Structure 1
Amino acid sequence: MWELLAAATGVELGKLVLEQVLNLGKGALENYIKDFFKNSIQSGITRVNAQKLKKPMAEAVGSFIKRFIKELQINDVPDTSIEHYYKTAVKKFVQDQAVGSILGEAFGKDCQRIDYHQLQRLWRQQDQDNQWQFPKDEFDWCGVAKEYRFEVKGIIKANPELRSLLETELLEDIARNTAQISPGFALAKYRNSLKCSYGYLKLYTLDSTDRVDAIKLWQMFIEQTVREALPPTRYELPLDLQHQLQEDEQLGDLSPEALADYRREYFQQPLTKVLAAVADTQQAVILGDPGAGKSTLLQYLALDWVEGTTDTLPLLIELREYAIAPVKNFLEFLHCGQGADWQFDQQQLHDYLLEHPTLVMFDGLDEVFDRLTQSTIIYEIIRFSQQYPQARVLVTSRIIGYNPERFQQAGFRQFTIQPLDDEEIDEFINRWYNLAMGSDSDQELLKQRLKDAIANSKAIQNLADNPLLLTMMAILNRRQE
């Protein structure tokens, strides 16, 4: 049977799946079809439609099975394991209605991806038998899902009845959306929202004593210095991780001599002020240590538009919020407003992005901890930059754990934020106490006390070049009045 399945296509493939894989009773099959299409056909499945949908559904399931088996073969799973275990296991897997409903997502309008993370979790729940050596780290669930979605497009194209049904669903969906209130494209209200969200430094988590006056980010921002290079600290990894990455050919030579070369090459790169660097690039990744001011930089750039110094509309997406939002793409995220600063009608925003220069900023790639989700988001960012060539795109990430390969291939420049130098530290202290204390007579005393502490202690010097830690020092220094 499996040999026939591997060779079959189209209607013949669907027939084999119905007979040999989804060999369910009439009522059970009808329920499976309803669950399969519940996320893609919102108006529901009638008994008549269920008969029309049965064959394309079975073709899709067959395509998924074939791609699943192919991925096992790519990862050198022995044919004996596939024959004796995996073919039965994948049959059981696709019979699960929860799996079917995910596969059915590919039939939805404008489907960009199916939830392959959930497919992976469901497989892990089922596959508890480790003796068959499932390649859990190497199995490309994202690639399987992409190829499956591509096959589904072909199934839809080849089936006129299915196309007609989906087009009817699309018209009904348009009617429903038209009847709803659009979030519009209110730039004046968006300006006020940004000012409210990012106008002042968020100091409460550092000092809850109410002794620090509200400090405007726009006034306090100290422009960082960057190098256009990847820092040598990204190679400072635990030995076991180094060996693993080198075995996978994802990491080069890490001998002491090679590391010395990396450091020398890095520090040979010229220093540039960050605002000039990002103004001169269309696509860039900004790397920095925790507390280096990556998020503050993006918020400052957004406030640049709020303060009227630029006409370029900024859009700031916090990726940790996007990763958990029930949306399919960045425009839908901004349309729904869940975790975003404002809501924009996605069709109007789409048109605006095509016709006007914008600054689109994606903050905190490192805060997306699930590697599969992070990989998908990188793909979406790159695709977004290609779809909207007028948009300047910035991405921020911590240094540790950052993989530059895909962004490099897509033409993104990569900058690393440098520690504050003595002049920048001095400017930070002066500006902080001027804004936090106003005309307080102790202002000069506190400034000098902190400067002296930094000058006289190597340990404090090593901390003061980080903006977040320097902020904490300024707050603690004032508490010691």
Structure 2
Amino acid sequence: MVDLLVAWGVAQTVGFIFKPILEDLAKDAAKDFAKDFLKDSLKHVLLPDKEPVNIAIGKAIKEFLQLVQQQLEVADLSEAEQKQYTEPLKQFLKNKSVKEVLGSAFKDDCQGLDTKKLAKIWHELNLLPLPDDFSWKQVNKPYLNKVKAIIRESPQLRAILDSQNIEATAKNTKELAGIVPEFDLRRYQEGIRERYANLNLDSLDTTVYDYREKLKVWQVFIAQNVRECQDFLHQVYEIPKEHQKRLRESNELEAEFDPQEWERYKQVYYQQPVRSVLDVVNDLQSDRLPPQPPLVRGEQDSLSLSKGQKQDFVPVPPLNKGGLGGVNAGCNYIVILGDPGSGKSTLLQYIALNWARTPLNNVISQPIPLLIELRSYSRDRNSGQCKDFLEFCHKGSVICRLNQHELHERLKSGKVLVMFDGLDEVFDPVQREEVITDIHRFTNDYPNVRVILTSRIIGYKPQRLRDAQFRHFMLQDLESEQIQDFIHRWHELTFTDEADKVRKRERLQQAIKTSSAIGELAGNPLLLTMMAILNRNQELPRDRPELYNQASRVLLHQWDVEQKLLEHPRIDSVAIDYKDKQAMLRQVAYFMQAADQGLAGNLIRGEDLEKILTGYLKSIEVSEARTVARLLVEQLRSRNFILCFLGGDSYGFVHRTFLEYFCASEFVDRFGKRGLEGGLTLEELKTEVFGKHWQDESWHEVLRLIAGMIDTSFAGEIIEYLMALDGEAQKFINLFLAAECLSEVRNLSTNIATQLLNHLKKIAAYGYYETVGTEEYMLIVGIRSRAVKAIARTWREDQKILKWLKNMH
């Protein structure tokens, strides 16, 4: 075997600082390292002699390192300072993508290195920062010239690459006829696993904990339940009529509906059985989907109210019970609808991974999953890179390139499960209609294929796809058993210390059990995952306001506004931290609660949102404040955060809990500025906030949060204020609210708590049954029952109260 260091010319090079890197590389020559660099140039080539390739690659790396050294010298770094880059460069050259970029110079058609990619990878690897004067572009051309010279100097390597170029020419000729010569299912399986297997939690967890090696999608996936919603999308038609009008005007909602007929649709929807979404997918694939429910036209037959059987959660449940072959006798197409974070994309990834993780000899005759992200498809379609879904797949936009001819044949025979993900992520209504047309045309061209489409609910127009025989299903919130299953699996997978695992698992379970608001959040898979991460990293807050504060901090890390702003040529540098983001959302929530619909509306117009953001940015002296605000609003259209785009140039909070939290936070912030302009005095807080809204139960959550966020002494005065109100005509709702506020406050005066308890005890014994009629009797029973529940909930740890309750019973 030749001495590689001599062959590479390293031994003769004087003043070469990065020689140790090549010395390590020479030791690894037996591991066939050169294949990684020439992956695209040496496909399917069995080399009888690896030395020519190893020598050529070693020479190229040496030239690359010398060019890097020259750039460091140009930056006036001393020899000692240059040596500091030895270890970073070793790590850099081990990166698979770096190898591919450097190896691309060996391709006959290479016009230059992807220097932007090299710079990006150096940054993402968090390596020692390069000097300001360092330029990857200055490395590009000299490196290309050196590689061409290396190829010319090696007859063996030149012969190998020439044969590859001949094969590439033949392949390109076939591509012009619309055919790619490969249909490699093993490679396709590998691509699916690489793309989707790891649970991506980087945007939710900013700590150093690495979930990539710990959590796989199939390990924590929970199959949610669905209910068929063929003619009823209540999330759309229960929004304010003004917003419905805007959605219609922007072509994001069907025509107006008859309220009476809509009520009948609603009844049918809630009579639909609740089933596991995997059962629906299995029935779709095996052609056993039950008949579609009849449209509501007058009296309807009663439908089953029972739930479908629970899905047994195992790592990889068998999704293909009957295959896709045979006669096209049933419904081939379904739409899965759900809120942001409800798990629509994860469902499709799980289905694809289920196939990709099955041994190839077991799935060779089964339908292959084709997962098409509609946002990417729409982008390529609009840029002219593809004209339809088949060409989109043909050009390698779905994990790896698929033979267009063979894919066409498989689609014709129905041996493909096509999954279109994220219709709602095609934001332009006109482009969305074009994509729907393409989907409709696709199902006409391939009537035997099975199709699953996912979308958010707001902005979705069902009529055209209903006309194309698509069945619609609505994802339901996670049920209690499903939440507990997720929590158990999460802690089993992410904790090694048994005691720590049990303690934190029980802590999270208790928080969900004891707080209805937290329990409501836990029904959303994304928010449940977020709470599990919070619970792992720190003591889960005892009080809900602090939990919401920390949860919002986690989610606002996704709102990566700085990177977006850096891309804009007119903006130099803007630092917007999570406190600024929270402050903006507080003002948004405050504006929304003051609107006609109040907290019930959860809507804000784009122009109002932009105005609020602009005003805040000006207050912290951000230059180009309006431009920055518009960029922030634009980003909200493309990604879901706490605040998201709802169509019709309107925005709202992803979950009502965050609207209530930020609304309460704004009142507390203004109360903290009492005595200053825009501040609230204690008297104003009592009369203008609690006094105006205590009778409206939709405000109670906000008022409770306020009580839990202010100083205990002030909260005590508010509870006394509520107790002093005359609430008999309102069924003593003032006292029930006071009890709810008391449960949020720590270490409150015993005297105030005792006064409230005595009030509630009187209500628990309220009324004289023999002197009232049946209707009034039932009203009194309801009030007494509510009082007993308020006492039991608020004083549940007081043994004397428990004894009193038993005597009451």
TM-score, length-normalised on structure 1? Answer: 0.60
Bigger drift between 399-408 and 178-187 goes to 178-187
Aligned ranges for residues 438-453 of structure 1 at < 5 Å?
438-453=496-511
Q: Which runs of 5+ in 1 are unaligned?
A: 1-172
Paired letter, 2:394:
H
Aligned ranges for residues 34-49 of structure 1 at < 5 Å?
none
Q: 256, 266, 269: which is aligned to 1:266?
A: 269
Partner deviation per Cα, 1:11-60 (whole Å, 9 max, x = no partner): xxxxxxxxxxxxxxxxxxxxxxxxxxxxxxxxxxxxxxxxxxxxxxxxxx
Alignment partners' CA distance in 2, 1:438 and 1:306: 29
Q: Cα 1:224–1:353, aligned 2, differ >3 Å: closer, same or farther?
A: same
Equivalent residue number for residue 226 of structure 1 = 226
SS at match of 2:418: strand
Q: Cα 1:184–1:262, aligned 2, differ >3 Å: closer, same or farther?
A: same
Alignment partners' CA distance in 1, 2:174 and 2:400: 22
Equivalent residue number for residue 289 of structure 1 = 339
Q: Cα 1:422–1:179, aligned 2, differ >3 Å: closer, same or farther?
A: closer
Q: Percent identity?
A: 46
Paired letter, 2:196:
Y
Paired letter, 1:209:
T
Equivalent residue number for residue 200 of structure 2 = 202
- Does the alignment pair 1:432 with 2:434? no
Say what the alpha-carbon RMSD is for the aligned residues: 2.6
Alignment partners' CA distance in 2, 1:413 and 1:190: 29
Report how far residue 384 of structure 1 moved.
Answer: 1.1
Equivalent residue number for residue 324 of structure 1 = 379
Partner deviation per Cα, 1:103-148 (whole Å, 9 max, x = no partner): xxxxxxxxxxxxxxxxxxxxxxxxxxxxxxxxxxxxxxxxxxxxxx
Aligned ranges for residues 247-396 of structure 1 at < 5 Å?
250-253=254-257, 255=259, 261-281=264-284, 282-308=332-358, 311-325=366-380, 326-338=385-397, 340-396=398-454
Report how far residue 226 of structure 1 moved.
Answer: 0.2
Q: Cα 1:430–1:175, aligned 2, differ >3 Å: closer, same or farther?
A: closer
Alignment partners' CA distance in 2, 1:441 and 1:174: 61
Q: Cα 1:449–1:349, aligned 2, differ >3 Å: closer, same or farther?
A: same
Report how far residue 245 of structure 1 moved.
Answer: 6.6
SS at match of 2:341: coil
Alignment partners' CA distance in 1, 2:461 and 2:180: 39
Q: Cα 1:246–1:292, aligned 2, differ >3 Å: closer, same or farther?
A: closer
Aligned ranges for residues 387-406 of structure 1 at < 5 Å?
387-406=445-464
Whether the 8 Å contact between 2:414 and 2:446 is mirrored in structure 1 is no
Q: 231, 234, 239: which is aligned to 1:237?
A: 239
SS at match of 1:280: helix
Q: How many residues were matched structurally?
A: 307
Report how far residue 305 of structure 1 moved.
Answer: 0.6
SS at match of 1:342: coil
Report how far residue 447 of structure 1 moved.
Answer: 0.8
Whether the 8 Å contact between 1:212 and 1:436 is mirrored in structure 2 is no
Q: Cα 1:253–1:179, aligned 2, differ >3 Å: closer, same or farther?
A: closer
Alignment partners' CA distance in 2, 1:241 and 1:254: 17
SS at match of 1:401: coil
Alignment partners' CA distance in 2, 1:231 and 1:199: 32
Alignment partners' CA distance in 2, 1:448 and 1:441: 11
Alignment partners' CA distance in 2, 1:427 and 1:291: 18
Q: Tell which has more relative contact order, 1 or 2 (C-alpha 8 A, sep 6+).
A: 1
Partner deviation per Cα, 1:56-93 (whole Å, 9 max, x = no partner): xxxxxxxxxxxxxxxxxxxxxxxxxxxxxxxxxxxxxx
SS at match of 1:442: helix
Q: Cα 1:193–1:176, aligned 2, differ >3 Å: closer, same or farther?
A: closer
Q: Cα 1:361–1:449, aligned 2, differ >3 Å: closer, same or farther?
A: same
Whether the 8 Å contact between 1:232 and 1:266 is mirrored in structure 2 is no
Partner deviation per Cα, 1:163-191 (whole Å, 9 max, x = no partner): xxxxxxxxxx9957359993621110110
Whether the 8 Å contact between 2:198 and 2:217 is mirrored in structure 1 is yes
Paired letter, 1:331:
L
Partner deviation per Cα, 1:297-344 (whole Å, 9 max, x = no partner): 000100111122752200000000000112101111111124x21111
Report how far residue 253 of structure 1 moved.
Answer: 3.8
- Does the alignment pair 1:215 with 2:215? yes
Partner deviation per Cα, 1:337-390 (whole Å, 9 max, x = no partner): 24x211112122112222352110000000001111111111111221221233
Whether the 8 Å contact between 2:440 and 2:465 is mirrored in structure 1 is yes
Report how far residue 197 of structure 1 moved.
Answer: 0.8
Whether the 8 Å contact between 1:363 and 1:397 is mirrored in structure 2 is yes
Equivalent residue number for residue 86 of structure 1 = none
Q: Which protein is bigger by CA-based radius of gyration?
A: 2
Whether the 8 Å contact between 2:368 and 2:415 is mirrored in structure 1 is yes
Report how far residue 234 of structure 1 moved.
Answer: 1.7
Q: 193, 201, 208: which is aligned to 2:191?
A: 193
Q: Cα 1:236–1:212, aligned 2, differ >3 Å: closer, same or farther?
A: farther
Report how far residue 480 of structure 1 moved.
Answer: 1.1
Q: Which runs of 5+ in 2 are unaligned?
A: 1-170, 285-331, 540-809
Whether the 8 Å contact between 1:232 and 1:259 is mirrored in structure 2 is no
Whether the 8 Å contact between 1:242 and 1:251 is mirrored in structure 2 is no
SS at match of 1:359: strand
Alignment partners' CA distance in 1, 2:209 and 2:449: 41
Alignment partners' CA distance in 1, 2:177 and 2:272: 56
Report how far residue 474 of structure 1 moved.
Answer: 0.0
TM-score, length-normalised on structure 2? Answer: 0.36
Partner deviation per Cα, 1:416-440 (whole Å, 9 max, x = no partner): 0000011111111011111112454
Q: Cα 1:337–1:183, aligned 2, differ >3 Å: closer, same or farther?
A: farther
Report how far residue 260 of structure 1 moved.
Answer: 5.3
Whether the 8 Å contact between 2:189 and 2:357 is mirrored in structure 1 is no
Alignment partners' CA distance in 1, 2:349 and 2:527: 19
Alignment partners' CA distance in 2, 1:194 and 1:476: 30
Alignment partners' CA distance in 2, 1:399 and 1:280: 23
Paired letter, 1:240:
E
SS at match of 1:413: strand
Whether the 8 Å contact between 2:174 and 2:180 is mirrored in structure 1 is no
Paired letter, 2:428:
D
- Give structure 1 regions of 4+ aligned residues with deviation exceeding 6 angstroms: 245-249
Alignment partners' CA distance in 1, 2:519 and 2:262: 25
Whether the 8 Å contact between 1:358 and 1:390 is mirrored in structure 2 is no
Q: 403, 409, 418: which is aligned to 2:476?
A: 418
